[in-house]
Structure formats: structure tokens, C-alpha cells
Structure 1
Amino acid sequence: MATSSGTWAYRDRFGDRFGRTYFRRFGPGVVSSVGLGTYLGDPTDAVDDRYREALIAGLEAGINLVDTASNYRCGRSERVVGEALGESSVDRDRVVVASKAGFLPFDGERPDDPGEYVRERFVDTGLVDPGDLAQGSHCIAPEFLNAMLDRSLDALAVDSIDCYYVHNPETQLTVRDREAVYDQLGAAFEALERRRAAGDVGGYGLATWEAFRVPADHDAALDLAEVLDRAEAAADRAGLDEHGFRAVQLPFNVRMADAFTRERHDPDGEDGPVSALEFCHREGLSAFAAASLGQGDLTGKGSIPESVEARLAGDSPAQRALNFARSAPAVTAALVGCSRVEHVREAVAAGTFDPLGASAFDAVFE
């Protein structure tokens, strides 16, 4: 597990190479505000090799955050992250590792008949109750999450995972009502609280796509205040003094800014709703910006509005887009795909520039 002494030692290794607030507090220590994502790419050996090389390059150059999931690239992403952690010169206690569970993972490749695969591997074995499934591929029942956490620990070849996310819980809203999904999350959180007490995870959170940034009346909407209440109740049931809900992952970039602009989460029931990022800021939660480069759409010339780009530091559109995401309140890190070494080097270099200050960031939206 990442430790305070380990992550601070990692930070000190780089001296003043990086810009202001490049390393930020998370968990017991600090983490780089650029993180290595492992979502994109085909499930092939060639892509594995590129990821492994890029991950090692990033870990050794100043990025100590790696984000993955049990289903990414048919399970290959977790395995490659584990290999990179083992082959890198960076000790495990210096690296924050995040993974996720929710989508039923394949095993190395996409099967010819995914439905049959799900039946044989998950339903017929009793690992998943058909009543807990959404869209034939998503489950957040405690028994499933526990099994996926064990699978993640094995694939990553680690004793613990620093942040374990319940992945896209809004998927369950396609088959059940909102209150039932909150109940599901409460049960999931209790399972993760018990694993946290056992030392298998450092903390947990929700990784979402739509849930926290769409309007309140949207079919995929979930409320952060209600989620946090369920986490507090789960910790209570697990006999713990405080909950381990630490983080929210959601899309945020210069063209998908609704996590900052849409005010619909009420932290105290008195002052009125605030944005997802403002809620996280007030409640001491870390926000991790997914799709900070718009999955590649923000890397070309002219992809960022001129009025915004002029305010941002960086030598390329990709660096400026990363620095926009890193500038938002509560954002601990912006995640960037790392399937190629050259992309990692560019992301590392983005961290040598300062992000926008709070006033300058707010001025972008005036």
C-alpha cells in the first residue's frame, strides 16, 4: 500500500522539477496530479508491451498514480500494471494504485459469445445472481465485489489497493429505481469497509460517467450527499469509527465541464445545491478527472477554445488540456491514457507548468 513516508520520499526524489502543487495530498501521503490511465487499447500482447513500457517510464519520471479496472482490456490492464510495478525501480509504497469493479470482466480476450461466457463463468457458478445484473454485464452485489477485489489483488500482484472504486453504479438505474440503487451502494460500501478494516484496500469511492454531472431529473443521476450518507451508515454497520469513502472519479475537461458548472448536490441541506467538484471540495473528497484529454479529442490544434487556451500553460494542446483539468477545485489528479511512452513523456512535462489559480480558473467561466 502507498504510505506517507513512501509517497513523500517519491516527491522529494524530484526536488523542484515540477510546478506548483504538482504533488497533492491523498490518503496517508501525496500523489502526482497527473495519473496514468489504462482504459484504451485492444486486448493484445503488442498493446500490453506498449503499456508496460509506458507505465514504467511514467513511474520512474514522476507519476505515482496508476488507474485501472478489472474489466479494462479484457482484464489485461490490471495484469500489465502489476508487471510494471514489479519491473519498475519504484517501490510499491511510493505508488497509489486505483482499480474498479462493476462490469463483468473477460479473461484476456473477448469471447465469441459474451452472453454464454457470462452464464458459464458468473451465473452458473453462483458468483452472480441474475437479479443483480444490469444490461447483462454489470453487478455491484457484495459477493461479486469481494470476488473481483480478490481477482484485482491477484492480477496486480499487490497486497492491497489504495483506492477501489465501484464502477459506473448508474448502470443499475436502467433496471431498478434510485432508492434501490442507493441500497445496493450501501451494501457494497459495507463490504468495502470490511475489506478496508482487513487492510485489502486503503479507501474506496465511485467511478462514474454520468451520475454526478447530469441534471437531477436525468435517468442516470445520483446524489453525492445521499451516497455519502450511505457510506457513513455502512461504516457504522461494519463497526468502524469513520467511513473510508475517499474519492470520486468522473469526466472533466474543457469541453465536458458540467462537474464544475452544474449545481445540483446539496452538502448540508441549507445553502442550496453546488456542483460535484464543489461538493467534493467541501466534504474533503478527492476528485479524479477522467477523460481529461477527451479521449484524444483535445490534443489537436484548435481543440481548446482560444479564450481558454490563452490562459493555460503548456507547450502543446494536450499539456494545456491536462493543466485545465488539474486547475479545478477538488481535482487531485487528471488521468491520461498511457499506452505509448511518448504520451507519458508529454504528460510528465505538463506537470512542470503551474496550473491556474482559483481566481483565474473561475474567470474562464465568466
Structure 2
Amino acid sequence: MATREALWGYRNRFGDAFGRTYFRRFGPGVVSSVGIGTYLGEPTPAVDEASRESIELALRSGVNHVDTAANYRCGRAERVVGEALRAAPVDRESVVVATKGGFLPFDGERPSDPSAYVRERFVEPGIVAPDDLANGAHAITPEFLEWSLDRSLDRLGLDSVDCYYVHNPETQLAVRSRADVYDALGAAFEALERRRAAGDLGAYGVATWDAFRVPEGGDRYLSLAEVLSRAEAAGEAVGPDDDHGFEAVQLPFNVAMADAFTRRNQPAPPGADADGPVSALSFAHEAGLSVVTSASIGQGDLAVEGAVPADVDATLAGETPAQRALNFARSAPGVTSSLVGSADPEHVRENVAAGTFDPLGASAFDAVFE
């Protein structure tokens, strides 16, 4: 697991090589505000090798935040992350490793009959019950998440992960009420609190796509305040004190998907200086939660000239469109780290170099939306 001493030691290795606030508070120490994601790519040996090389390069170059999930690239992504960690010339304790559970993972390749695969590998052995499933492939029961965490640790070859996300819990809204989803999250958080106490994870959170950025009352909306309250209750229930390990939220954010900043769809936290609802980013900041952005350059769509509106592009620092798009995401108030996935070493170098430029200050970022 990452430690304060090792995280700060990693940051100090790079001295003044990066711009202002490149390393930001996370967990016991600091983490790079550019992180490497592992979502994209086919489940093939060729992509495995390219991804491994890219992750190793990132770890050597100033990126100490690696994000993956049990289901990414049919389970191959986690294996590659573990291999890259063992091969890179950095200590495990100096890297924040995050993974996720929720979607039922394949085992290295896509089966010819996914429904039969789920039935034979998950339902018949009792890992999930049919009623647990949403869209035939998603579950957040305590039993399934614990099974998934164990499999993730095996694939990563690690004793623990630094952050474990419940993956897209809003998927469950397709088959059950919002109140039932909150209850399910509460049960899941109690299980994760027990695993935190056992030393299997350092912190946990939720990784979402729609939940915290759609309008309140929308079909896939969840209240961040209610989710946090379930974590607080889980911490009290599990003990040994009233603390809890819910520390991070992951959501999509970029210049074309700025809802987490612009849409006031969350109730203001107690004590916040707000007259009404606030944005997801504002709530997370006031509540002391780290925010990790996914789709930070729109899965590559914003890495081309002209993709970012000219007036916004002109305010951003960076030599390439990808760097400027990434620096937009890193500039949002409350953002801890912005993920970019790449299996191309040149793209990794380009993304890391974005961190040598200063992000926008809070006032300059606000002015973009005026």
C-alpha cells in the first residue's frame, strides 16, 4: 500500500520539473494530477505489451497514479498493471493503485455467449444471484464485491490497493429504486470497511459515469450527500471508531462534459457557504473528498486541433491540443487527478509534459464559463 513517506519521496524525486500544484493531496500523501488509465484497447497480447510499456514509462516519468478495473480489457488490464509495477524502477509504496468492482469480468477474452458465461461462472457457483444483476452483468452486493476485490488483488499481484471503487452504481437503477440502491451501497460500504480494517484497501469510493452529473431526479441520478451518509453510517457500524474510508469520487469531466462543475444538482453540505444546490465538484471539495476525472481528453476526441472551443483553448497552457484539454480538466476546482489512457509511449510523454504547465487558477477557470 502507498505510504506517506514513499509518496512524498516520489514527488521530491522530480523537484521543480513540473508546474504549480502538479502533485496534490491524496490519501496519506500526494499523487500526480495526471494519472494513467487502462480502459481502452482490445484484449490482445499486443495491446498488453504496449500498455505495459506505457505504464512503466509513466511511472518513471512522474505519474504515480494508476487506475484500472476488474472488467477492463476482459481482466487483462489489471494483470498488465501488476506486471508494470513490478518492472518499473519505483517502489510499490510510492504509487497509488486504484481498481473497481461492479461489472462481472470476463477472463482474458470475450466469450462467444456472454449470457451463458455469466450463468456458468457467476450464477451457478453462487457468486451472484439472478436478482442481484442489472443489465445481466452488474452487481454491487457485498459478496460479489468481496469476491471481485480478491480476484483483483490476485490479478494485480498485490496485497492491497490504495483505492477501491464501486463501479457505476447507477447501473442498478435500471432494476431497483433509488432508495434500494442507496441501501445496497450502504451494505457494500460495510463490507469495504471490513476489508479496509483488514488492510486489503486503503480507501474506497464510487466511480460513476452519469450519477453525479445528470439533473436531480434523472433516471441515473444519485445524491452524493446520500451516498456519503451511507459511508459514514458504515464507518460507525463497523468501527472500531466513527471514521470511514470513503475518500474518492471518480466521474467524467472535460471541456465538452463539464456538468460536474456547471450543474448544481447536489444538496449543499452542512456548513457550506451556499444558498442552494451545488455542483458535484463543489460538494466533493466541501466534504473533503478527492475527485478523479475520467474521459479527461474525451477518450482522444479533444486531442485534435479545433476540438476545444477557440476562446477556451486560448486560456489554457500547453503545446498541443491534448495537453491543453488535459490542463482544462486539471484546472477545475476540487480535482485531484485527471486520468488519460494510452498505450502509445509518445502519447504518454505528451500527457506527462502537460504537467509542466501551470493549470488555470480558480478565478481564471470560473471566467471560462462567464
TM-score normalised by the chain length of structure 1: 0.99
Matched residue, 1:128: 128
Distance 1:268 1:17 in 2: 37
Q: Give the counterpart letter for 1:267 in structure 2.
A: A
Letter paired with 1:274: V
Select 1:327's aligned residue among 328, 331, 335: 331
Letter in 2 for 1:293: I
Q: Following TM superposition, where does structure 1 have runs of at least 4 consecutive aligned residues deviating by more than 4 angstroms?
A: none
2:56 and 2:88 in contact (8 A); partners too:
yes
CA distance in 1, matches of 2:122, 2:237: 28
Distance in structure 2 (CA, Å) of the matches to 1:267 and 1:156:
38
- SS, match of residue 202 in structure 1: strand
Question: How far apart are 1:271 and its partner, in Å?
Answer: 3.4
Aligned equivalents of 1:293, 1:45: Cα separation in 2: 26
| Deviations 1:239-285 (CA, angstroms, capped at 9, x unpaired) | 23211100000000001000000001113367321000000110010
What residue in structure 2 maps to residue 187 of structure 1?
187
Distance of 1:243 and 1:307 partners within structure 2? 43
Counterparts of 2:347 and 2:106, CA distance in 1: 27
Q: State how far apart, in whole Å, the 2-side matches of 1:315 and 1:260 are.
A: 25
1:353 to 341, 352, 357: 357
Contact 2:232–2:242 (CA<8 Å) still a contact in 1?
Answer: no
Residue 339 (1) aligns with residue 340 (2): no
Paired residue type of 1:215: P
2:304 pairs with 1:300 = yes
Q: How far off is 1:129 after superposition?
A: 1.0
Match of 1:257 in 2: 258
**2:302 alignment partner, SS class:** coil
CA distance in 1, matches of 2:153, 2:269: 37
Tell me the equivalent position of 1:95: 95
Cα distance, 1:351 vs. partner?
A: 0.3
1:215-240 superposed Cα distances (whole Å, 9 cap, x missing partner): 01210000000001100011111123
Following superposition, the deviation at residue 15 of structure 1 comes to 0.6
Which residue in the other structure is 2:276 paired with?
272
Q: Which residue of 1 aligns with 2:8?
A: 8
- Deviation of 1:108 (Å): 0.2
The residue number in structure 1 matching 2:68 is 68
Letter in 2 for 1:128: V
The residue identity in structure 1 corresponding to 2:242 is D
Q: Deviations over 1:43-86 (max 9, x none)?
A: 00000000000000000000000000000000000000000000
1:147 aligns with 2:147: yes
CA distance in 1, matches of 2:29, 2:61: 19
Distance 1:265 1:242 in 2: 23
Distance 2:344 2:124 in 1: 39
Give the equivalent residue in structure 1 for 2:79. 79
Alignment size in residue pairs: 366
CA deviations 1:272-329 (Å, max 9, x no partner) are 2100000011001011010011011100010000000000000000000000000001
Measured after TM superposition, the shift of residue 124 of structure 1 is 0.1
Counterparts of 1:29-48 in structure 2 under 5 Å?
A: 29-48=29-48
Unaligned ranges ≥5, structure 1: none
Q: Distance in 2 between matches of 1:268 and 1:146?
A: 30
Q: Corresponding residue for 1:214?
A: 214
- One-letter code of the match for 1:231? A
Q: Partner amino acid for 1:357?
A: G
| CA displacement 1:139-184 (0-9 Å, x = unmatched) | 0000000000001111111111000000000000000000000000
Percent identity of paired positions between Structure 1 and Structure 2? 70
Q: Which runs of 5+ in 2 are unaligned?
A: none
Post-superposition shift, 1:340?
Answer: 1.2
Following TM superposition, by how much is the alpha carbon of 1:343 offset from its aligned partner in structure 2, in angstroms? 1.1
* Contact kept in structure 2, 1:70 and 1:100, CA below 8 Å: yes
Moved more, 229-238 or 70-79: 229-238
CA RMSD, Structure 1 to Structure 2 (Å): 0.8
Q: For 2:275 and 2:24, how far apart are their aligned partners in 1?
A: 28
1:24 matched residue in structure 2: 24
State whether residues 269 and 283 of structure 2, in contact with CA within 8 Å, keep that contact through their aligned partners in structure 1: no
Matched, 1:364 2:368: yes
Contact persistence 1:267–1:283 (CA under 8 A): no
Query: SS of 1:162's equivalent?
Result: strand
- For 1:203, what is the secondary structure of its paired residue? strand
